[in-house]
Structure 1
């Protein structure tokens, strides 16, 4: 495996690695693809949040037997999930399940232009986001979350992930965690370099090669097509 930056973390969890092998297979049916994406996201989220989140003592509460206990509250105070349409939707439920409280889900729509493989944004529902801003969109309490969690199963060339990072930084996010099932080494390096001091990338696995069409080799295929039964559309 190529040398990866210090802000990139590749899981070695044995259950996750086994599930990733199942996900790679062309014989895995769509219903199982959805379940595997969920399970991998849950394991990956546990590992990422163990490092990227913390807690602080909160008010006391009382158990059903009348005993007082100390509660704990999650830090940072504001967290949002940012799935990249459309395949990132397959990761949302797992991360919502993992977090102790409900958090906003903001969607970003990005696609790769077929000829250049460059990312093109077609949808953005970040609150108070100034498209094409100069990095001040999140200033002055405009509603930007302290931590934004990007959800995207595959990092290929890294262009889409880097564009999402740039958008969230302009919005005003203080930190970003990227959760991805699989990445190409070169694409992961490119995404990690977009904002090294503010971004941590967590993956289940890394492939070394990309095809001339920008697909990972051996990869997972098109995760969106596999999730939503649009193969051959």
Structure 2
């Protein structure tokens, strides 16, 4: 169900990201760098099609990515922290946003915004959110995307908790998850341990 990207650079940068003394600026930069490295692996199986091009020396048969342009879906607000990194790989991708916040009492997701491109059924949709904690927000976002027509989806995060993975897989067994690490557990406030704190607060300098 989950693919852990254990590339040495991913793991090194994740260690720096976790440190409590890492500044807001450094945290943003590391998120972007890790997201780019994760994206490289997540997009490894993109379909290709042959085309004819002219090099400075001759005509040749080459390949390009086939099908409709990819769609990256950011789960607001923290998803913005890794959206830019993966977008560096595919600058022409379409962008969608799902706005969810977690009710502090129930920990259930509440929708406040939803906007996605047209033609979702024909696009590979990559959903990005730094943390897969309870899995409720991730599962809710994917449900909304499926209702909007999405048929091919992948979920990308920095950290996942076993509880969140179990919930997400039960809700969407057809959607693979890619993460830099699977941590030990959730605490009573639904924070991942050992984790890295609140990704949104650390990205935007809020508390």
Give the TM-score band, short-chain normalised: over 0.9
> What is the CA–CA distance in structure 1 between the aligned matches of 2:125 and 2:64, rounded to whole Å?
18
Match in the other structure for 1:33: 27
1:113 partnered with 2:89:
no
Q: Secondary structure at the match of 2:41?
A: helix
**Could you tell me whether the CA contact under 8 Å between 1:179 and 1:202 is conserved in 2?**
yes
Which residue of the other structure, out of 38, 47, 51, is the alignment partner of 2:41? 47
1:71 partnered with 2:68:
no
**Could you tell me whether the CA contact under 8 Å between 1:112 and 1:160 is conserved in 2?**
yes
TM-score (normalised: structure 2): 0.94
> What is the CA–CA distance in structure 1 between the aligned matches of 2:16 and 2:67, rounded to whole Å?
35
How far the C-alpha of 1:218 sits from its partner, in A, is 1.0
Q: Secondary structure at the match of 2:155?
A: strand
Q: Secondary structure at the match of 1:38?
A: helix
Q: Secondary structure at the match of 2:150?
A: coil
> What is the CA–CA distance in structure 2 between the aligned matches of 1:85 and 1:43, rounded to whole Å?
21
Match in the other structure for 2:173: 196
**Could you tell me whether the CA contact under 8 Å between 1:8 and 1:192 is conserved in 2?**
no
Provide, for residues 8-56 of structure 1, a one-character-per-residue CA deviation record: whole Å limited to 9, x for no partner: 11111111111111111001011110111011111111111113x2211
How far the C-alpha of 1:180 sits from its partner, in A, is 0.2
Match in the other structure for 1:214: 190
Deviating runs (4+, > 3 A) in structure 1? none
Q: Secondary structure at the match of 1:106?
A: strand
**Could you tell me whether the CA contact under 8 Å between 2:69 and 2:94 is conserved in 1?**
no
Gaps of 5+ in 2: none
